[in-house]
Amino acid sequence: MDFQPGWRSFGVAVDKRSQAIDVFSDAYPEVTTVVPDGKCSRDLDSIPDFVQRVWDLHIQAQRVPHLEREVRELSSLKSEIQRLRLLESDLENQAKNLRADVLDQSDGRARWMKRAQQAEAKLAVHPYILALINGNHLWFRHRFSRSDRSAEVIDSLVHEMREHAQTKHTLPKSIPALIQIFVDLKQLSEDLKATESVSRSADMVEFIQALNSQRHVSVIACDSTAVQQKLRTAYELNVENCHCQHVTVLLVLPVITARYMSTPTMN
């Protein structure tokens, strides 16, 4: 028989069969059988199979480090799979939250769109003109000096506003008008006295009070530095921040803007 080269350490060779049997018998007694006369005989037919078995075990033993490395890699792979599963779960939760946010935003946009459509519908039904006026402007002073009756001043202003708006757009002949006047009462009083338009401050105060009593007019008293700021704020809130059908900026007259919008929007 031929032995594998790796087993030469046992001192066996093809021509030393009995020595090989002794070596393997001492090392591995399970290959021997007991005969009835009590003498130990070798199962010579089992030697080749046993040697092959030992050789296979040797080969497997050489593979142990490789198998251990594979086990470590498998353990690392299992840990990575677990991490990826946790990441997948986290991403699914994020996606769920994002879908909920999108639905909320869609509902919000739908509500705002509905409100906008309702506002546009009211806009076409109840249009009116809004005038924002700098009360310190000379136009207001001249108007004041020509008339001491507030009703005439406002009626004339509303008439001019309607005429101007109707030249730009198709509007009802008696379209409602709202007027907001921002004025520095102290500065206006001094200017009117300087031009001899009024003889005493009380005249101007009475006139302003009379203006405020008109149904179309609101007079907002403020200092000179606040007039422009309040005009700008009123413009932004009433025009830029709302739904408008038409906007006209007047550069000649001190009317900052003429606007056509729904009465509920003003509220």
The 10s digit of each residue's pLDDT in 140-174 is: 665 555 556 677 778 888 888 888 888 877 878 88
219 within domain boundaries: yes
14 within domain boundaries: yes
Last residue of a domain, one of 62, 81, 106: 62
> What global pTM score does this model have?
0.46
Measured CA to CA, the distance from residue 229 to residue 80 in angstroms comes to 63
If asked whether residues 42 and 144 sit together in one domain, one would say no
If asked whether residues 132 and 227 sit together in one domain, one would say yes
86 within domain boundaries: no
If asked whether residues 238 and 134 sit together in one domain, one would say yes
Which tokens hold the place of 193? 């006295």
Last residue of a domain, one of 62, 78, 104: 62
* Structural domain boundaries, residue 20: 5-62
pLDDT value at position 16? 46
If asked whether residues 157 and 258 sit together in one domain, one would say yes
If asked whether residues 48 and 145 sit together in one domain, one would say no
pLDDT value at position 246? 55
If asked whether residues 57 and 148 sit together in one domain, one would say no
If asked whether residues 166 and 262 sit together in one domain, one would say yes
191 within domain boundaries: yes
Q: How many CB atoms lie within 10 A of CB 133?
A: 22
Which tokens hold the place of 131? 């005038």
Q: How far is CA 223 from CA 13, 74, 136, 184, 259, in A?
A: 122, 81, 10, 5, 26
Split into its structural domains, the chain has a count of 2
Q: Yes or no: say if 141 and 191 are a contact pair by the CB < 8 Å rule.
A: yes
pLDDT value at position 15? 40
If asked whether residues 148 and 34 sit together in one domain, one would say no
pLDDT value at position 2? 46
Measured CA to CA, the distance from residue 161 to residue 155 in angstroms comes to 10
Query: Roughly how many angstroms between the first and final C-alpha of the chain, as a whole number?
Result: 112
Measured CA to CA, the distance from residue 249 to residue 110 in angstroms comes to 32
If asked whether residues 150 and 241 sit together in one domain, one would say yes
247 within domain boundaries: yes
If asked whether residues 42 and 150 sit together in one domain, one would say no
138 within domain boundaries: yes
Low pLDDT (below 70) residues in the chain: 1-48, 50-51, 120, 122-126, 137-149, 197-198, 201, 240-267
pLDDT value at position 260? 33
93 within domain boundaries: no
If asked whether residues 150 and 43 sit together in one domain, one would say no
243 within domain boundaries: yes
Last residue of a domain, one of 22, 40, 62: 62
If asked whether residues 151 and 20 sit together in one domain, one would say no
Helix/strand/coil for 219: strand
